[in-house]
Chains A and B, each alone.
Chain A
Amino acid sequence: MTGLYTLFHKELLRFWKVSLQTILAPVLSSLLYLLIFSHVLASRMEVYGGIPYTVFLIPGLVMMAVLQNAFANSSSSLIQSKITGNLVFILLSPLSYLEIFLAYVSASTLRGLMVGLGVYTVAAWFYPPPLQSLIWIVLFAFLGSALLGVLGVIAGIMSDKFDQLAAFQNFIILPLTFLSGVFYSVHSLPPVWQFLSHLNPFFYMIDGFRYGFFGVSDISPYISVSVVLLCLVVISGWALWMLKSGYKIRS
């Protein structure tokens, strides 16, 4: 356990030492979204019959921050270690592939949750959202953060250069997040787009997370949690296979 804990702790220190950039900056940018979108759209939109748009927006923004930062943590840590070559220190150690996986994913999950909590705290201070079920909130935040932490591991292993990682982020993670209903209820979309949204796993994370706040959602939280869990298992299996086979990190 010492090995696993050490790598987890090292990953934690890695982002904690630059927390201005890894925690505060994402909190600030989420709040800017809140400020701008709520100002522009608050008067035009009302969601779930009576919930003000600004309040509706908060859980979406919190979840978006969670997901993006969990992904950023494992992916950028891995690619930096690969490019600078210091991944060798981990590869030379007796750490198993499972330990490496768990350490990277749990540190990323924690960063995602920390940023999410930061966004929530500041946003709730201005516009406190209701809180129907803390369990659903924590569950979806945790699963979403872990899932993106795992995706970050995959992206970090697959990318050889920073621009490949940026492509992963810009062409996969960002569109899936923005089209998942962060800024709107999927119910307000035309049927085709509603259908497409249901194919996006990110939609279930945000919809389920929002259910914890309002007790209302586009889809049952039980379905959402099943979809997210299934994704987590499949993606984790993929990441573990990569680490076990040494794909791109052990020649």
Chain B
Amino acid sequence: MIPAIEVQQLGKRYRELVALDRIDLVVQPGEFFALLGPNGAGKTTLISILAGLTRPSYGTAKIMGHDVLSGYREARKKLGVVPQELVYDPFFTVREMLVIQSGYFGIKRNDSWIDEILQHLDLADKAYVNVRALSGGMKRRLLIAQALVHKPPVIILDEPTAGVDVELRQSLWQFIRRLNLEGHTVVLTTHYLEEAEALCNRVAVLKQGRIVALDSMHNLVRSTRGYTLELRLSTGALPSALDMWRGKHDGSLHSLEIKDYSEVETILSLLRQSGVQILDMQLLQPDLETVFRKIMKTQDADGV
């Protein structure tokens, strides 16, 4: 099977700054892939190289088997990119933008597909409105529509829900999820980790131009052993019997790191023996955010 995206030893240097440091990455067709990492980690550089907006300093990148440099025409026809910035051309209406974008990809008559995208993205009643007059959320959806005019098998969304309200975010998620179910390979970058966790099945975490974690969402989240038990106690201080679990505390709220559920029982009985009353209790599953923080911390400790 030809990978949807294949990147080998890919790097980008801006004089002294290494934006991307010889990374290898394969995304298979049909995957829903998340690119995570702090600002400046190299996510946008990677996307820009795949899209042909930036030239790599070394290494190769392919979209559906087509090199982004030597086979750029085919590579770009296979790829739809939703840029991060809310860009638009103030001279045109929503529909004109989509007709023009289709034309750039060599598609002359695209009306029925354009109607369909407009419908799905809830822009049908704005088809003849000048793009200038659209709200931020609508402009964001138009960008997604523009990326889809040529029915690309691979779609990259750079922060698709940045600055988008909760309701719209949900409907965008739904739409993107549907694209993936219909067989599109979807890659997204996001700052909202719960977004990646809810949607994606594989993750790459980038830091300072390198991939520091690459795994399925399931494995990555489970890789953090144990849970967190949050307790709010009547006494404020933690009884000394619980010293071995001592974790963080914030006033009377204590977060204890535990390995498994059996420890909950032990902790509860120790609390009962100490005569301390539990005001509130919560058992937290590890989530992507915990994992992400841990990865970033480990990397710092390693001096990377």
Contacts and interface: CB of A to CB of B under 8 A. Distances in A.
B106 A88 contact: no
Given A92-B52, A250-B54, A251-B55, A14 B91 contact: yes
A43 interface: no
**Chain B CB within 10 A, most for which of A7, A10, A18, A84:** A10
Contacts of B52: 91-92, 250
A93 B105 contact: yes
A84 B87 CA distance: 7
Interface in B155-200: none
B55 A250 contact: yes
B104 interface: yes
A3 B55 contact: no
- Give the residue among A94, A246, A250 with the most B Cβ atoms within 10 A: A94
Contact of A84 (B88, B92, B105, B107): B88
A221 B270 CA distance: 105
B53 A88 contact: yes
B37 interface: no
A226 interface: no
Interface string B14-33: 10000000000000000000
Interface string A9-35: 110011001100000000000000000
B144 to A, nearest CB: 13
A162 B72 CA distance: 31
B110 to A, nearest CB: 11
Contacts of B105: 3, 93-94
A157 B79 CA distance: 26
Contacts of B88: 84, 86
Contact of B87 (A10, A18, A85): A85
Contacts of B91: 13-14, 17-18
- For chain A, what secondary structure do more than half of its interface residues adopt (helix, strand, loop), or is it mixed? helix
Interface in A127-184: none
Contact of B100 (A6, A84, A251): A6
A91 B87 contact: no
B72 A84 contact: no
A68 to B, nearest CB: 21
A94 B73 contact: yes
B104 A6 contact: yes
A84 B89 CA distance: 8
B18 to A, nearest CB: 15
A90 interface: yes
B138 to A, nearest CB: 16
A250 B53 contact: yes
Contacts of B87: 84-86, 88-89
B103 interface: yes
A86 to B, nearest CB: 4
Contact of A94 (B77, B85, B89): B77
Given A10-B100, A84-B90, A86-B87, A94 B55 contact: no
A214 B292 CA distance: 78
Interface of A: 2-3, 5-7, 9-10, 13-14, 17-18, 81, 84-86, 88-96, 246, 250-251
Interface of B: 14, 48, 51-55, 72-74, 76-77, 79, 81, 83, 85, 87-92, 96, 100-108, 146
Given A13-B92, A250-B54, 6 more contacts: A2-B103, A13-B91, A85-B83, A86-B87, A89-B101, A94-B105
5 contacts: A9-B100, A9-B103, A17-B91, A86-B87, A251-B53
